[in-house]
Amino acid sequence: MSQKKISLSVVGLAALGLVLSACSTAVPGAESDTKPADAVEFPVSSSVELEGSPTFEAMQERGKIILGVKEDQPGFGMRDAATGERSGFDIDLARWIAAELGFGEDRIEYVTIPSQSREQSLTNGDADLIIGMYTISEKRKELVGFAGPYMTNGQSLLVRADNTDIKGEDDMAGHKVCSITGSTPIQYVKQNHPDVETVEFDNMAQCVDALTSSQVDAVTTDEALLIGYTTLAPDQLKVVGKPFTHEGFGIGVSKTDDALRKFVNGLLTEDSDVLQKIYDGNLGSSGVAFQAAEVDNY
């Protein structure tokens, strides 16, 4: 397709390569400001006991944990198409929780679960936990259980670096704004800003591509996700304005498994500094501070 898309993905791969090589080689002194080397190791707990959790029993029976994640969210959940390697904030968070449950690297199975099928996957038991920018909402709580939130977030805007017209939510009028088909952010724009022309694509990369090639003027979704895109192409893209909605990201568990939900909540509450470390390791270079959230142990 367009050259810009190619160049953007090249930048993305290069950035990912940098991050990966920084993890594995850990040259002393080098890259110290972008990638602390201590952010990736989690000691695996042994003899974990979790009373009354059917999900945990199922994990132990099959000998591994199945984690539902994303594979197309830079900085949070990315899968390298060439190596199959997964990386990002949510992936590290997933590895941490798995380790605390007694499952080391070799006993984790990742599955990529599209946003629309998250509730069904948890209900069916296709995934033990879903960790991937899963926004907690009252309506969703009727279908699944949520541990967390581990991070607060809100919808924000991504624009081209040279754009000076759009500084926040109120400047969107008369512009083209893109997000994922049917997503909460696009429904918010349609409801609150009827004078904005919306464009919807199946995935974020298409929106970002449309943005870099000037087909749309802004891309909107959770700020955290947008930050991930700016780390890929810092001189082409920027995040503007304050987040204009307030939501929390949670970890999806089966609705019937309160024990597992409380276990994860316990982790998030007691070791809240681990999250900061994971954030610094993945998104520290973005210049945007981590916004921790207070766990809602309902």
Partner 1 sequence: MQVLTDNLDLFVLGFTNTGIMFVISAVFALLLGSVIGILRISPSAPMRAVGTVYVNTLRNTPLALLMMFFALGYPKLGLPALDYFTLATVALVLYTASYVAEVFRSGVNSIDKGQTEAARAIGLSFGQVMWVVLLPQAFRNVVPPLMSVFIAALKNTTVASGFSVMQAGAISANMSERGENLLVTLLWVALFFFILVMGLAALQRKFERKWAQS
Buried/exposed 270-296: b ≥16 CB within 10 Å, e otherwise: eeeebbebbbbbbbbbbebebebbebe
Check residue 256 for interaction with partner 1 (CB under 8 A). Answer: no
Give residues 192-231 in contact with partner 1 (rule: CB under 8 A): 198-202, 206, 209-210, 213, 215
Helices 258-270, 272-283: axis angle to 10 degrees equals 80
Q: CB of 145: closest distance to partner 1 in angstroms? A: 14
Q: Is 84 helix (H, G, I), strand (E, B) or coil?
A: coil
Stretch that binds partner 1, among 11-19, 71-79, 116-124, 256-264 (CB under 8 A): 116-124
Q: Is 195 helix (H, G, I), strand (E, B) or coil?
A: coil
- Nearer to partner 1 among residue 117 and residue 291 (C-beta): 117
Find the binder of partner 1 among 31, 72, 80, 119 (CB under 8 A): 119
Question: Binding marks (x or -) toward partner 1, 156..195, rule CB under 8 A?
Answer: ------------------------xxxxx--x--------
Are 149 and 90 in contact by the 8 Å Cβ rule? The answer is no
Q: Supply the DSSP symbol for 106.
A: G
Check residue 143 for interaction with partner 1 (CB under 8 A). Answer: yes
Find the binder of partner 1 among 142, 195, 235, 273 (CB under 8 A): 142
- Nearer to partner 1 among residue 1 and residue 82 (C-beta): 1
Check residue 116 for interaction with partner 1 (CB under 8 A). Answer: yes
**Residue that has been written with the tokens 């916004």 in this structure:** 291
Check residue 138 for interaction with partner 1 (CB under 8 A). Answer: yes
Total residues in contact with partner 1, by rule CB under 8 A: 30
Stretch that binds partner 1, among 13-21, 134-142, 235-243, 285-293 (CB under 8 A): 134-142
Closest by CA to 183, choosing from 121, 128, 131, 247, is 247
- Nearer to partner 1 among residue 32 and residue 116 (C-beta): 116
Q: CB of 150: closest distance to partner 1 in angstroms? A: 20
Find the binder of partner 1 among 139, 191, 194, 246 (CB under 8 A): 139
Classify residue 159 by burial, with Cβ atoms within 10 Å: 0-12, 13-18, 19+.
Answer: buried
**Residue that has been written with the tokens 């002194």 in this structure:** 29
Beta bridge partners of 220: 157
Question: Is-cis flag, bond preceding 149, omega within 30?
Answer: yes
- Nearer to partner 1 among residue 16 and residue 136 (C-beta): 136
Are 126 and 66 in contact by the 8 Å Cβ rule? The answer is yes
Are 222 and 183 in contact by the 8 Å Cβ rule? The answer is no
- Nearer to partner 1 among residue 196 and residue 210 (C-beta): 210
If one counts every other C-beta atom within 10 angstroms of the C-beta of residue 45, the result is 13
- The strand order across the sheet containing 129-135 reads 108-112, 65-69, 129-135, 247-253, 145-153
The residue type found at 124 is N
Check residue 7 for interaction with partner 1 (CB under 8 A). Answer: no
Find the binder of partner 1 among 34, 115, 256, 291 (CB under 8 A): 115
- Nearer to partner 1 among residue 112 and residue 184 (C-beta): 184
- Nearer to partner 1 among residue 80 and residue 197 (C-beta): 197
Question: Which positions lie near partner 1, rule CB under 8 A?
Answer: 1-2, 115-120, 137-140, 142-143, 180-184, 187, 198-202, 206, 209-210, 213, 215
